[in-house]
C-alpha cells in the first residue's frame, strides 16, 4: 500500500471510530484522584502506548458549574475538528437558526452585436452550501454517516440519495415559467466574497454544487475484468474516462485531469464493495455555470453560449438595483446546515461559514469571517489567550485549551440556540460520525452528543503520529446529571493498525468512565 494512502486510510479510521465498546467495562463508583479524575481514567492515561502523550480534559456539571474532573485545562492542544463547535456557534449567533439562503437569478437585457435584443441570465451566489442538492421534502438536509467529502481517504463513505441538481433544475424551471425561452449567456455572480484556499483541498467559495466535487463510483466485476466506473453529476465541462481492472488485495486508484478529461485508472479487489472517490473542482464559477446551462436546456431554455469554458465575470453589472429576479432558490433553515457540518464533520461547509459570516457583515475576505468569529468568542467570555483558530474546519494549525472549549459549551448550553446546537452533534450509537461507535450493550448509547476531532501526520521517517484526538460535547450521565465535557489527547506515535484501535478503545473507555462515575 502506498504511504500516502496509508496516511489517508488511518486518518479516516480515527475519524469514524472515536468511541468504542470498551466503555462498558468501567466499574461503577471508581475511587477519584485529587483533581476529580476517576482512577479508571488515570489507568488509561498511564498505559505504555502514551509515553509522550499530553492529556487534557475538563468535566463540568451544567446546572451547578461544579468542576467534576480536570487536567491541563489551561494548556493549548491541537483540537482537530472540535474547532467546528466554535465555527458553528459563531455562525448561529450571527445568522440565527432560522436564516435561509436565497439565491436569485436575474435576466439582464443587453444588445447583441447584430443589434437584436438578447438576455444574459445571472445566478447570484448567496453562499448556500447545498444549493438544493441535499434538500428533502420535509425542509431538512440529507446527510450520510460517512460523507462523500471524505471519500478519498475514508472507506465506507456514501453518496446521498437526493438529486444533486434539484436546486438548479428548480431555478431553470422558474426561468422558463417567466417566459424566457432563450438566453445569450449564463453568468455566475460569485462576488459575495473572494474565493480562498484553506487546509481542505476544496476552495472556499460563494457557490457550491455537490460540494464542488464529482463523485466517482467504482464497482468491481469478475476477477481480471474491467470494473464499472460511473460519475455524478454529469457535466459538459468534464468527461470521465476509466481503465480500472478487477484484482489485487486492496483498492489502488489514481485520478488525474487534463483538458477537461478526468482519467480514472488502477485496480480494485473483486470482493470490494463499490468504492467511492471524488474529484475536486478548482473553478467553482465555471462548474456552476456549466451545470446551470445544462439545467436550462433540460427545461427548454436555449443558451447561445457553450456550456464549456470560463465564467464571464467581466459582463456582470455593478449591482441589481431596479431588477426583479426571474427565479429564486430558498434553502432549508440554517440549523440544518449546522447539523450537516457537525454530524459528519463537513470541512468544506465549515470553512464556507467564514466567508458567509464575512459577507453578512459586508466584508469580502474569508479571513474577515475569522475575525468576526474571534469578536463573538471574546464577547461571550472566551479568553482570547485560551485558543488560536486559523480556519473553520479544525486543521492541525489550530489550538484550543479545555478551558476554552468548556467556556463555549457553557454559553451554548444556556443560550436560545441550545436545543439546535446539541441536536446538531453526533449521538453515540445513533447517527453521524458516532453511529457505529458503540456496541449494542454500551450503556452510554444515546446519552452522549459530542463532536470528534482528529489530526494525524507522517514524520521525517515516514512514521505516523496521531497529533490530536478530541471529543467535546454533552452527556447525561448514569446518575441523570447533565454534564459538559472536553477530552484531548495529543501526540501518540502509531506503529500499527492495532495501535489505532487501542487508542479508539481507550478514548471510548475514558468517556464511559465519565458516564459511569458522575
Cα dihedral 89, 92, 95, 101 sign: positive
Q: Within 10 A of 162 (CB to CB), how many other CB atoms are there?
A: 16
Contacts of 410 (CB under 8 A, 6+ apart): 60, 62, 65, 484
Q: Within 10 A of 32 (CB to CB), how many other CB atoms are there?
A: 17
Where would I find the H helices in 179-219?
A: none
How far is 510 from 82, CA to CA, in rounded Å? 17
Query: Which pLDDT value is given to residue 444?
Result: 81
User: What grid cell was written down for 350?
Assistant: 465549515
Q: Within 10 A of 249 (CB to CB), how many other CB atoms are there?
A: 10
Query: Which pLDDT value is given to residue 71?
Result: 96
Contacts of 216 (CB under 8 A, 6+ apart): 229, 230, 231, 240, 255, 262, 264, 276, 277, 278, 279
117-124 and 185-189 as β-strands: parallel, antiparallel, unpaired? Answer: parallel
Rg of the chain's alpha carbons, rounded to an integer? Answer: 24
Domain ranges of the chain: 3-79+399-517, 102-332
302-303 and 67-71 as β-strands: parallel, antiparallel, unpaired? Answer: unpaired
The CATH class of the 3-79+399-517 domain is alpha beta
Three-state DSSP class for residue 264: strand
How far is 235 from 260, CA to CA, in rounded Å? 10
Three-state DSSP class for residue 289: helix
How far is 429 from 511, CA to CA, in rounded Å? 13
Query: Which pLDDT value is given to residue 27?
Result: 32
How far is 485 from 67, CA to CA, in rounded Å? 10
How far is 85 from 422, CA to CA, in rounded Å? 10
In contact, 357 and 377? CB cutoff 8 Å? no
How far is 433 from 348, CA to CA, in rounded Å? 16
Kindly report, residue by residue over 17-72, the tens digit of the pLDDT.
333 333 333 333 333 344 789 998 999 999 999 999 999 999 999 999 999 999 99
| Beta-ladder partners of 102 | 330
Residue recorded with cell 476531532: 453
- Flag residues of the chain having pLDDT under 50: 1-34
Query: Which pLDDT value is given to residue 390?
Result: 97
| Beta-ladder partners of 111 | 117
Amino acid at each position: 500500500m502506498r504511504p500516502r494512502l496509508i496516511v489517508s486510510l488511518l486518518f479516516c479510521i480515527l475519524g469514524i471510530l472515536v468511541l468504542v465498546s470498551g466503555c462498558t467495562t468501567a466499574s461503577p463508583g471508581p475511587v477519584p484522584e485529587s483533581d476529580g479524575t476517576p482512577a479508571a481514567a488515570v489507568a488509561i492515561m498511564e498505559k505504555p502506548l502514551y509515553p509522550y502523550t499530553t492529556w487534557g480534559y475538563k468535566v463540568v456539571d451544567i446546572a451547578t458549574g461544579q468542576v467534576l474532573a480536570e487536567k491541563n485545562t489551561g494548556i493549548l492542544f491541537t483540537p482537530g475538528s472540535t474547532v467546528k463547535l466554535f465555527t458553528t456557534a459563531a455562525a448561529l449567533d450571527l445568522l440565527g437558526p432560522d436564516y435561509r439562503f436565497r439565491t436569485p437569478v436575474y435576466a439582464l437585457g443587453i444588445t447583441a452585436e447584430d443589434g437584436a435584443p438578447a438576455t444574459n441570465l445571472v445566478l447570484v451566489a448567496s453562499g448556500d452550501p447545498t444549493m438544493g442538492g441535499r434538500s428533502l421534502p420535509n425542509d431538512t438536509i440529507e446527510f450520510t454517516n460517512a460523507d462523500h467529502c471524505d471519500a478519498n481517504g475514508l472507506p465506507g463513505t456514501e453518496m446521498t440519495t437526493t438529486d444533486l441538481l434539484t436546486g438548479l433544475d428548480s431555478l431553470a424551471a422558474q426561468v422558463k415559467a417567466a417566459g424566457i425561452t432563450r438566453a445569450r449567456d449564463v453568468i455566475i455572480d460569485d462576488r459575495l466574497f473572494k474565493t480562498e484556499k484553506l487546509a481542505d483541498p476544496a476552495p472556499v467559495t460563494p457557490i457550491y454544487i455537490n460540494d464542488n466535487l464529482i463523485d466517482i463510483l467504482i464497482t468491481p466485476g469478475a476477477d481480471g475484468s474491467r470494473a464499472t466506473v460511473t460519475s455524478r453529476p454529469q457535466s459538459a465541462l468534464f468527461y470521465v474516462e476509466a481503465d480500472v481492472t478487477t484484482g489485487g488485495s486492496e483498492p489502488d486508484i489514481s485520478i488525474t485531469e487534463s483538458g477537461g478529461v478526468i482519467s480514472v485508472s488502477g485496480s480494485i479487489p473483486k470482493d470490494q464493495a463499490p468504492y467511492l472517490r471524488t474529484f475536486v473542482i478548482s473553478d467553482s464559477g465555471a462548474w456552476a455555470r456549466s451545470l446551470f446551462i445544462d439545467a436550462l436546456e433540460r427545461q427548454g431554455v436555449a443558451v447561445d453560449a457553450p456550456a464549456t469554458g470560463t465564467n464571464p465575470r467581466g459582463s456582470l453589472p455593478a449591482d441589481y438595483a431596479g431588477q426583479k429576479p426571474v427565479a429564486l432558490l430558498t434553502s432549508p433553515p440554517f440549523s440544518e446546515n449546522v447539523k450537516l457540518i457537525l454530524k459528519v464533520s463537513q470541512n468544506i461547509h465549515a470553512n464556507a461559514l467564514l466567508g458567509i459570516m464575512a459577507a453578512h457583515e459586508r466584508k469580502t475576505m474569508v479571513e474577515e469571517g475569522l475575525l468576526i468569529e474571534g469578536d463573538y468568542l471574546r464577547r461571550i467570555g472566551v479568553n482570547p489567550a485560551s485558543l488560536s483558530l486559523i480556519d473553520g474546519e479544525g486543521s492541525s494549525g489550530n489550538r484550543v485549551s479545555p478551558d476554552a472549549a468548556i467556556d463555549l459549551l457553557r454559553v451554548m448550553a444556556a443560550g436560545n440556540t441550545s436545543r439546535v446546537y446539541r441536536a446538531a452533534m453526533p449521538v453515540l450509537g445513533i447517527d453521524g460520525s458516532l453511529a457505529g461507535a458503540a456496541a449494542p450493550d454500551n450503556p452510554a448509547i444515546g446519552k452522549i452528543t459530542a463532536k470528534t476531532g482528529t489530526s494525524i501526520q507522517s514524520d521525517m521517517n515516514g512514521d505516523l503520529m496521531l497529533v490530536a484526538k478530541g471529543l467535546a460535547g454533552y452527556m447525561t450521565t448514569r446518575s441523570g446529571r447533565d454534564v459538559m465535557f472536553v477530552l484531548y489527547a495529543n501526540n501518540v506515535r502509531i506503529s500499527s493498525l492495532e495501535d489505532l484501535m487501542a487508542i479508539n478503545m481507550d478514548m471510548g473507555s475514558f468517556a464511559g468512565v465519565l458516564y459511569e462515575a458522575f
